[in-house]
Each structure stands twice: as C-alpha cells, then as structure tokens.
Structure 1
Amino acid sequence: MNLFTERAITIMKQIPAGKVMSYGQIAALAGSPRGARQIVRILHSMSRKYEIPWHRVINAKGEIGFKDEQQLFEQKRRLEMEQIIVDENNRIDLDKYRYLPDGLFF
C-alpha cells in the first residue's frame, strides 16, 4: 500500500460520529491536493477491509455523492443516525458538520 493510501485511510478512520469530511479535504491532508478521485477509489475498494466510516465522506459542495438511490438512502440514513441534518437536496451544512482535524501528523 502506498503512503498516500495509508494516510487517507488513517484520516478517514479518525472522522468522529456526527462529522463529515470532503474527498478533496482528505486528499489534501493525505498529501495529494488533487487526489479526490483517489479517495473515491480507496473508499470503494477498502472501506470494508479497513472499517472506514465511508458515510462520513461527502463532496466539496456538502452533497452526498451517490446517484444510485439505494446507496444515497443508506448514506443519508447513517448520517441522520449520527444527528447530521441532510436537507431535501441531500446536502450537509459544512460550516456546522465539517471535521477539521488538528494535530494530524504522519
């Protein structure tokens, strides 16, 4: 596993319940500011194996990224179980719910 992937997994596993991070935010913190698509691939292929809280990762607009209705519903359900409000456009208020980790060292 490469260093970027290791860092990304570490960051995502630290997102606390009731908070979210964007793909781009995670990529930048992991060392690749333009690596948002890589975060999507990591989530898709490694979420189960590494027990990543995939539902806490959203796009830069604060939106749930899934177009598939079942996946969208599942992510929304999980977020709402953590008291995160998802509006009728499937958006999350990033000012309120964005996780800003401090002291993140590798």
Structure 2
Amino acid sequence: MTLFTEEVLVIIKGIPYGRVMSYGQVARLAGNTRGARQVVRILHSMSEKYKLPWHRIINSKGKISITDKRYAAIQRELLISEGVEVFEDGSVNISTYGM
C-alpha cells in the first residue's frame, strides 16, 4: 500500500459524524493536489474492507456524484441520518457541513 493510500484511509476515517469532505480535499490533505480520482478508486476498492465512511465524501461542487441511483440514494439517506441536510439535487451546504 502506498503512503498516499494510507493517508487517504486515515483522513477518511477521521471525518466526523455529520460532516463531509470532497475527493479533492482528501487528496490534498494526503499530499497529492491532483489525486481526487485516486481517492475515488481507493473508496471504491477499500471502503468495505476498511469500514470507511464513504458516504461523507462528495464532489467539489458539494454534490453527491455517484451515478448509480440506488447507491446515490443510500449515500443521501446515510448523510441525512447524520443530520446533514441534502437537497433534492443531491447538494450539501459545504459551508455548514464541510471540514
């Protein structure tokens, strides 16, 4: 496992209940300003194994970016269950719920 991957795992696990971060924010904090897509791949392949709070990651526009409607609905419901307000278009107020 690369150092970047290890850092991404630590950062994602550290996102508090009721808060969100973007893929790019996670990448920057892990040391790669251009690593947002790598964060996506890490989430896709390691969320279950490492019990990552994958639902707390949104895109840089403050929206749920999962294209599969079923998983987007699951993400939406998980965020709402943590007290995060998610609008009909899948957006979240980053100034309120962001890190």
Decide: shared fold, TM above 0.5: yes
SS in 2 for 1:60: coil
Tell me how many residue pairs correspond in the alignment.
99
**2:23 pairs with 1:23:** yes
**What is aligned with 1:102?**
none
Q: TM-score, normalised by structure 1?
A: 0.92
Cα separation, 2, equivalents of 1:10 and 1:16 = 12
| Inter-partner Cα distance in structure 2 for 1:11 and 1:98 | 14
Alignment of 1:36-47 (within 5 A): 36-47=36-47
**CA distance in 1: counterparts of 2:27 and 2:85, whole angstroms:** 24
Aligned pairs for 1:52-67 within 5 A: 52-67=52-67
Q: What letter corresponds to residue 51 of structure 1 in structure 2?
A: K
| 1:33 has 2:33 as partner | yes
Distance 2:88 2:52 in 1: 26
What is the TM-score of this pair, normalised by structure 2?
A: 0.99
Deviation (angstroms), 1:16: 0.7
Q: Unpaired segments of 5 or more residues in structure 1?
A: 100-106
Runs ≥4 residues deviating over 6 A = none
Residues 53-82 of structure 1, C-alpha deviations (whole Å, 9 max, x = no match): 000000000000111110110000000000
Structure 1 Cα separation of the partners of residues 43 and 67 of structure 2: 16
SS state of the match for residue 15, structure 1?
coil
Deviations 1:43-62 (A, max 9, x none): 00000111110000000000
Partner SS state of residue 26, structure 2: helix
1:88 shift after superposition:
1.2
For 1:73, give the aligned amino acid: A
Partner of 1:96 in structure 2? 96
